[in-house]
Amino acid sequence: GNPLGGAGAEALAAALARNATLEELDLGRAGLGGAAGVALAGALEQNKALKELDVFGNRGLGDAGARALTAALARNATLEKLGLGSSGLGEAPCWALARALEENVALKELNLSANPGLGDAGARALAAALARNETLEKLDLGCAGLGDAAGVALARALEQNTALTFVDLSSNKGL
């Protein structure tokens, strides 16, 4: 990817907040930091056109940027696909994501793969929300540091969830 930097990402977020036509945005490996994540989150809360956002490989997002992005989903009714793979996510953003998934009515695909810091605690938070979410169809938790506790929590959630059609749990050595 091309390093965008903080100023570039913030300018892009400001434009995205006002844009009414862009449907897909790939910011994979763009060198995004926490401030860029917060700026993009603000844009997501206002944007009514974007359907796909991929920020794969932006390990600099950190928990603050990822938490802001995931929390914005609660107030966004158009984003259908979010890619947060290999973004250095830990447990904390999963709690914000879980709260957002309980309210979001648009998201169909969520990629959280290659975030080994997510772990059992993050997966348990997500599982609680998945039991109630009615729109998410595809969830990628491959290589997310999941163990037995995550497996049990996700299995219980799947008993109640009627929307998910695909779940990737590959490369989780603890399962």
> What tokens does 47 get?
């944007």
| pLDDT confidence of residue 3 | 78
Contact 35, 8 (CB under 8 A): no
pLDDT of residue 63: 86
What kind and span of H or E run contains 82?
strand 81-83
Residue 118, pLDDT score: 95
1 pLDDT tier (thresholds 50, 70, 90) = low
Region of poorest pLDDT, from 63-67, 75-79, 123-127? 63-67
Mean pLDDT check: name the lowest of 36-40, 81-85, 88-92, 137-141: 88-92
Mean pLDDT over each residue of the chain, to the nearest integer: 94
172 touches 144 (CB < 8 A): yes
Orientation angle between helical segments 91-103 and 119-130, nearest 10 degrees: 0
Q: Which residue has the tokens 């648009």?
A: 106
Task: Answer for the pair 123, 146: CB distance below 8 angstroms, yes or no.
Answer: yes
**DSSP symbol at 61:** G
The stretch 61-67 carries a mean pLDDT of 89
- List the CATH code of the domain at 21-168: 3.80.10.10
Structure tokens at 126: 């997500």
pLDDT, average across residues 153-173: 97
Q: What angle do CA 96, 106, 31 make, to 5 degrees?
A: 55
What confidence category does residue 41 fall into, taking pLDDT thresholds of 50, 70 and 90? very high
C-beta separation of 61 from 30 below 8 A:
no
Residue 129 in tokens: 């929300």
Q: Which residue has the higher pLDDT, 62 or 27?
A: 27
* pLDDT attached to residue 7: 85
117 pLDDT higher than 70: yes
Residue 4: what pLDDT? 82
Domain boundaries, the chain: 21-168
